[in-house]
């Protein structure tokens, strides 16, 4: 099978889990004998057959852009003719059996409508809220959740979904029940929607018990350093918890990097952690903290912890409660509540063995995930063939 992956970013240009997942899926598909090509928004690489030139700035530079340039970006994200021309060219050149789209902010709704208009089977994975929110996160820039949604997002969402609903993907995959529920308000998506959890890969030799030997109890955070990710809440909670001898390792980059560095010991600012450093950092953790304040659909780092037997303290929001191990559910806390998070950190420090988890491929391992994705491809190809035949 020939598959065209469409993702605005691609490793090594990584902002979130969507592009990491799409790249990992591509590797698995190739190993299974399929041919995979990639179209991105301005990211080149050995697997990328076309990189659409971004305008007015690369998406990974969005946090530092002034308001006027962000408005230009959102305007082009309604209809990006460069993306349309690139997709037409690649579809003509490669004739893929199926297109699989992921995070497409910046490529505009054309990324979701071109395949159907060309009679090509199409599967889309919901990694974020781009179909409901122009910022794709349903939060304000300061991290506050948009409840109710902004009028501008309601209007833009209506226009975007009117377009996509006329030429939609045959199958839409949601990475959690939480994000599926949010999108059920879109009438076109409901009959196409199915939940397929991101895969968990068990890492051989991972520990399944709290570490001993006099080393400090280590909490960790890996991700973007932004208000919506709850980084400020985490720093406040760790200070409140005041656990003797404990330390907090914070890895990532983003607008709150200065605050993390300013916290000082026992907070360790680890900066951006590339893949070759991630394993050693995870091996050093006794407990991962995922303090998201936005409706995080399915943080990849939770699955990375599950695959290594690392307990997780998580915010009770988005897909996080679905993904953490049953033993860790007592450690869930109300998002944004630093006092509650401090209590959970103290509870873990008092009895780490109570939250011991075994490395596990749950809720779905790679073989099961690959079967589900290939099943979605087959269903999309069947539906597209039938629809194209009717049109002809």
Q: What is the pLDDT, as a whole number, of residue 215?
A: 82
Q: Do the two domains 2-199+365-391 and 218-355 of this chain adopt the same fold?
A: yes
Q: What is the DSSP string of 57-95?
A: S-GGGGGG--HHHHHHHHHHTT--HHHHHHHHHHHHHH-
- Residue 211: is its pLDDT beyond 70? no
Q: In this structure, is the dihedral angle defined by the CA atoms of residues 316, 320, 321 and 325, taken in order, positive or negative?
A: negative
Q: Which residue has the higher pLDDT, 136 or 324?
A: 324
Backbone φ, ψ for residue 35 (5° rounding) = -100, 130
Query: Which distant-in-sequence residues (6+ apart) come within 8 Å of 28 by Cβ?
Result: 366, 370
Q: What is the pLDDT, as a whole number, of residue 62?
A: 86
Q: State pLDDT tens for residues 177-192.
A: 999 999 999 999 999 9
Q: What is the pLDDT, as a whole number, of residue 369?
A: 97
Asked whether 364 and 176 are in contact (CB, 8 A), the reply is: no
Please classify residue 55 by burial: count the beta carbons closer than 10 Å to its beta carbon, then call 0-12 exposed, 13-18 middle and 19+ buried: middle
Give the strand pairing for 2-6 and 98-101. Answer: parallel
Mean pLDDT in the chain?
93
Confidence of residue 141 (pLDDT cuts 50, 70, 90): low
- Residue 335: is its pLDDT beyond 80? yes
Q: What is the pLDDT, as a whole number, of residue 139?
A: 78
- Residue 155: is its pLDDT beyond 60? yes
Distance CA 70, CA 135 (A): 10
List the CATH code of the domain at 218-355: 3.40.50.2000
Q: State pLDDT tens for residues 283-316.
A: 999 999 999 999 999 999 999 999 999 999 999 9
User: Average pLDDT, stretch 260-270?
Assistant: 96
Asked whether 290 and 320 are in contact (CB, 8 A), the reply is: yes
User: Average pLDDT, stretch 340-350?
Assistant: 98
Q: What is the pLDDT, as a whole number, of residue 16?
A: 83
User: Average pLDDT, stretch 2-6?
Assistant: 98
- Residue 205: is its pLDDT beyond 80? no
User: Average pLDDT, stretch 205-221?
Assistant: 75
Domain 2-199+365-391, classified CATH 3.40.50.2000, yes or no? yes
Residue boundaries of the structural domains of the chain: 2-199+365-391, 218-355
User: How many residues are listed for the chain in this entry?
Assistant: 392
- Residue 18: is its pLDDT beyond 70? yes
Distance CA 239, CA 221 (A): 15
Would you call the peptide bond into 363 cis, given omega within 30 degrees of 0 as the criterion? yes
């Amino acid at each position: 099978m020939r598959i065209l992956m469409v993702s605005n970013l691609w490793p090594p240009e990584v902002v979130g889990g969507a592009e990491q997942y799409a790249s990992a899926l591509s590797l698995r598909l190739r190993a299974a004998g399929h041919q995979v090509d990639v179209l991105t928004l301005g990211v080149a690489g050995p697997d990328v057959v076309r990189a659409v030139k971004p305008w007015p700035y690369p998406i990974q530079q969005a946090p530092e852009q002034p308001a006027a340039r962000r408005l230009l970006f959102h305007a082009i994200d309604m209809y990006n003719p460069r993306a349309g021309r690139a997709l037409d060219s690649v579809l003509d050149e490669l004739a893929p059996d199926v297109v699989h789209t992921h995070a497409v902010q910046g490529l505009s709704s054309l990324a979701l409508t071109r395949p159907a208009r060309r009679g090509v089977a199409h599967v889309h994975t919901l990694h974020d809220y781009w179909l409901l929110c122009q910022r794709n996160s349903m939060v304000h820039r300061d991290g506050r959740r948009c409840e109710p949604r902004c009028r501008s997002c309601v209007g833009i969402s209506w226009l975007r979904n009117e377009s996509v609903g006329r030429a939609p993907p045959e199958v839409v995959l949601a990475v959690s029940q939480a994000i599926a529920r949010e999108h059920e308000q879109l009438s076109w998506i409901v009959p196409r929607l199915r939940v397929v959890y991101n895969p968990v890969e068990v890492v051989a030799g991972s520990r399944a018990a709290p570490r001993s030997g006099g080393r400090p109890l280590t909490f960790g955070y890996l991700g973007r350093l932004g208000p919506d990710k709850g980084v400020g809440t985490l720093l406040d909670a760790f200070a409140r918890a005041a656990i003797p001898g404990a330390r907090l390792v914070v890895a990532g980059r983003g607008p709150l990097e200065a605050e993390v560095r300013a916290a000082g010991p026992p907070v360790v600012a680890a900066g951006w952690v590339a893949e070759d450093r991630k394993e050693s950092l995870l091996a050093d953790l006794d407990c991962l903290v995922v303090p998201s304040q936005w409706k995080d659909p399915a943080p990849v780092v939770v699955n990375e912890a599950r695959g290594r037997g690392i307990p997780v303290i998580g915010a009770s929001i988005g897909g996080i409660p679905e993904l953490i191990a049953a033993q860790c559910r007592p450690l869930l806390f109300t998002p944004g509540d630093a006092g509650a998070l401090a209590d959970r950190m103290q509870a873990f420090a008092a009895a780490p063995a109570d939250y011991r988890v075994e490395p596990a491929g749950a809720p779905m391992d790679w073989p099961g995930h690959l079967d589900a994705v290939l099943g979605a491809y087959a269903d999309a190809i069947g539906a597209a063939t039938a629809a194209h035949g009717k049109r002809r």
